[in-house]
Amino acid sequence: MVRKRFDRRSGTKRLGTKTNQYVQHASDWQIQNIEPADLHKLKLPKLPVTPPVVPVVSPPALPSGLSSVANLPPIEVSQPEADTASQRGRTESAIQVASAPRRSRSARSRPLKSWNWSLLGLGAVVLSAGMGAAALMWLTTLPPLPDCGKISPIAADSERLYCAQEAIRSGDLPQLVAGLQLVGQWSDDHPLYSEAQKLMASWSKAILAIANDKINHNDLPGAVETASHIPPNSPIYKEAQAAIAHWQEQWQQGETLYKMAQEALQNQYWDRAAEQVPALAQLENPYWQQRADQLTSQILSEKQARTQLVEARNLAKRQNSEALGEAIALAQQIDPSSHAWAEAKTELTQWSQALLKTGIQQWQQGNLEGRSPGTANPSRPNAFP
């Protein structure tokens, strides 16, 4: 049986302290285990309400005509309004208690969801890194090199180009020409056209260098033929054609100058022959520059040969065996490569016959000691026919 106590202050009876606590705990447990939407269905126990202390509300600004607050009547709050305010406060407290556990469960679930998203993002990063590494390995792994010894005419252009590059490393002209023929037939829409143009320029320069070497060794036909292998679609085709035209022009000028110099030497026009030396030296072709040096030496040799021939002729005019012998000996010292040697060779034959005839006459006359001093010259066995 619940005992009731009399509240002297409020003039009402209230439940015992323990009974009041039990009722409060039961109410809290019931509120905490219901949904927030069902709170309006909850029937709270009707407990005796202790009358609250009625507050005195401060009056607003004094109206005109009143001198102090003491003259205003006090404003009191009625008992029903106080009960309603107290009951509203308890209901709000109950709602806060009921909703508190749900917020705590939501707060615990947020870290779990955040952790799941982190794992998902980490997995995506690892997957992307793996795919990137696999792609990099696939790109950096070189395909097997083709067997150039067994390359087929219908093989891929990339394989044929590789084999052409390997063959051209030797620097041989046939390999260079074959490489130009391979890439020269590719149009500008070919996938390897850009690389082919670079290789064509490099190979064309190598062919042009071989042609230059031939022209420097007095091989104009070979140089022109070599440079003609450069195709019209080569980046240096115009340069090659200009080089061919220049070689031919230089060669023609050199031949003309050299021919004029030889004619002057043959006619003993030493000054005219000497004028052709600087003209030949001004030509860009090294071959004709070398010819200019040779022409200088030839002029000196021709002068000396011509002097020897003149002296030999003067000796032969004496018409005696001793003079003929000296003339023959002097003529045999003439350079066989000189223009004077052609004339000296003819006169040597005449002088030898005259000397032989003189010797026979002396032998017939009994002069056995008479001999021709110029008939025997072991160093020039072919001086006489």
Q: What is the DSSP string of 56-101?
A: PPPP-SPPTT---GGGSPPP---HHHHHHHHHHHHHHHHHHHHHHH
215 part of a folded domain: yes
186 part of a folded domain: yes
Backbone angles phi, psi at 13, to 5 degrees: -95, 145
Q: Which residues contact 323 (CB under 8 A, 6 or more apart)?
A: 315, 316, 317
Q: How far, in Å, CA of 310 to CA of 331, rounded?
A: 9
187 part of a folded domain: yes
pLDDT in tens, the chain (385 residues): 444 444 444 444 444 444 444 445 445 545 455 555 555 555 555 555 555 554 544 555 555 554 444 454 554 444 454 455 555 555 555 445 445 455 445 545 555 566 677 777 777 777 777 777 766 665 565 455 544 644 555 556 666 667 667 767 777 888 888 877 777 676 676 776 677 778 888 888 999 999 999 998 889 999 999 999 998 888 899 999 999 999 999 999 999 999 999 999 999 999 999 999 999 999 988 889 899 999 999 999 999 999 999 999 999 888 788 888 898 999 999 999 888 898 888 888 888 888 888 778 777 777 655 444 444 443 444 443 3
364 part of a folded domain: no
pTM: 0.49
Question: What is the extent of the structural domain holding 186?
Answer: 152-235
Q: How far, in Å, CA of 222 to CA of 203, rounded?
A: 18
Centre a 10 Å sphere on the Cβ of residue 357 and count the other Cβ atoms it contains. 13
Residue 344: exposed, middle, or buried by beta-carbon count in 10 A (0-12, 13-18, 19+)?
A: buried
Task: Write out the E strands in the chain.
Answer: 4-6, 13-15
Q: Give the pair of three-digit tokens for residue 333.
A: 């010292």
159 part of a folded domain: yes
Q: How many domains in the chain?
A: 1
179-185 long-range contacts, CB within 8 A, separation 24+: 179/203, 180/204, 180/207, 180/229, 180/230, 180/231, 180/234, 181/231, 184/231, 184/233, 184/234
